[in-house]
Amino acid sequence: MTSASPSAAPAAAFGGRPNILRRAEAWLDSKGRKAWIAAMVVSFVLFWPLGLAFVIYITATNRWSSDTMFGCAARRHRHGSHHDRYAAFRAAQPSGNSAFDSYKSEMLKRLETEQTAFEAFLQRLRAAKDKSEFDAFMEDRARENRATDAARDETAPEAPKADLPRAGEY
């Protein structure tokens, strides 16, 4: 019995060869970002809707990012690690080795507690920084108010304080 690759079904449909679009995609991936951009520009020159289709395809498959534009996507597919989105799910599954599973669960618990402690530390650090900045702001504000009060007292003529209405009086 032979092992089938993920693209074996489309390849079998075309007489054992991958279809021309998959081969073109693999070729462009192997050549890198410049090949994708050149193909897009040429397709815009020849027939603008085809160029627009290239832009949509490159955007939809996230080929603008550097890891897929430099041929890494082809390498990833060749080595069979294109199911990385399920890696976290697979990591949570038991391996069958009870010693390793207990070590893994203890390590994950320890990492979770360390992460929680670190996040609490960062929160306290942010709160302390915010408090020091607020205290410095209030100190500056009080200093400015004292300076303006002193300047106003020096420039204002002294009036008898008995004649002035008290706060709340008219």
Of 95 and 123, more confident: 123
Backbone dihedral region for residue 32 (phi beyond 0: left; psi -120 to 50: alpha; all else: beta): left
Domain map of the chain by residue range? 9-81, 97-155
**Contact call for residues 44 and 51 (beta carbons, < 8 A):** yes
Summarize pLDDT for 81-115 with one digit per residue, the tens: 545 666 666 777 788 888 998 999 899 999 999 99
Pairwise pLDDT comparison (166 vs 21), residue with the higher score: 21
pLDDT tens-digit series, residues 125-159: 999 999 999 999 999 999 998 888 888 877 766 65
Which residues, 6 or more positions from 70, have their beta carbon under 8 angstroms from its beta carbon? Answer: 32, 33
